[in-house]
Homo-oligomer: A and B are copies of this chain.
Amino acid sequence: MHQDHDTSALSHPLGGMIRRLERHAVLDDNDRAALAGLPRETRRVAAGQVVARAGEVVTEHQVIVSGLACRFKDTGDGARQIIAFHLPGESICCPTLFLDVADQDAMALTESEFAVVPRAAFRAVARQRPAIERALLMVTLVEGAILAEALVNAARRDGRTRVAHLLCELALRFDAAGLASPNGIDLPLTQEQIGDALGLTPVHVNRMLRSLAEAGLIERRGSRVSFPRWNALKEAADFDATYLHLDQRRV
């Protein structure tokens, strides 16, 4: 962990977060400067490392700079449910920035880099600059919509559709984050983690991936997934991208 107060927009550790906020809200130069001026550290964590724990009082606001992370909850009998995947630019914020006691855990799924901001500083900036608070509300609403669709997916769709739906969502979100290439995405998730997100066992995830591949709806090479028949996959996934609010007019 090292101090890093470079303020150039491109390499700024919070630049991804600022761009993400501006996808859903309007910030002016002062807002951007206030966010860019936040005290922060960057922290590099290994895959699998837990970075926030339910029940703890929160003192830090963590933003992913690179890598992939998730929030999750464990049930009483040891099962794990992934609540949300977090791409670079996203915060583990929403549950913990304003709620005093976290009710969820968070972990890095790949080796990741986090920007860590003292919670009090972040909240002070949000309070002083209403546009920032508005922006936080917007991204929280979008995350809520994504969470709602995850509930529909897990509660209502069969395993094959569920897996296909998650792939569609991640493909679009990776693309929006600039992490997709024309011929697919690099999906650094184990089948167990996919199952943890969908309410399936790893062996069933495996069966369903095979089924999708045999139908020609996806192609797999290592962790690379490509979508040779995107529209057919969307169809099989019962996928409608409205809930991602990717084209939300900024307010």
B155 & A73 in contact (Cβ 8 Å cutoff): no
State the interface size on chain A (CB cutoff 8 A). Answer: 53
Copies of this chain, whole number: 2
Q: Tell me whether A140 and B140 are in contact in the complex, defined as CB-CB below 8 angstroms, given that A99-B248, A127-B130, A242-B103 are known contacts.
A: yes
Among candidates B95, B123, B134, B242, residue contacting A55 with C-beta atoms closer than 8 Å: B242
Q: Does A104 contact B (CB under 8 A)?
A: yes
Contacts of A84 in B (CB 8 A): 148
Q: Tell me the bound Cα distance from A152 to B83 in angstroms.
A: 8
Main secondary structure of the interface of A (DSSP, over half): helix
Q: Does A160 contact B (CB under 8 A)?
A: no
Q: Tell me whether A141 and B98 are in contact in the complex, defined as CB-CB below 8 angstroms, given that A127-B130, A243-B103 are known contacts.
A: yes
B245 & A155 in contact (Cβ 8 Å cutoff): no
Contacts of A154 in B (CB 8 A): 151, 154-155, 199
Q: Tell me the bound Cα distance from A140 to B143 in angstroms.
A: 10
Most chain B C-beta atoms within 10 Å of own C-beta, residue among A147, A155, A199 = A155
- B-contacting 9-mer, from A74-82, A109-117, A172-180, A181-189: A74-82
For window 201-251 of A, CB contacts with B under 8 Å fall at 238, 242-243, 245, 248-249, 251
Q: Tell me the bound Cα distance from A130 to B130 in angstroms.
A: 6
**Nearest-neighbor residue (CB-CB) of A104 within chain B:** B148
Most chain B C-beta atoms within 10 Å of own C-beta, residue among A55, A103, A136 = A103
Q: Does A94 contact B (CB under 8 A)?
A: yes
Mask, A105-143, CB within 8 Å of B = 1, is: 000000000000000000100110010011011101111
16 A-B pairs, CB-CB below 8 angstroms? A55-B242, A73-B152, A95-B141, A99-B138, A99-B141, A99-B245, A103-B148, A103-B149, A126-B134, A127-B130, A130-B130, A133-B137, A140-B140, A147-B148, A151-B154, A155-B155
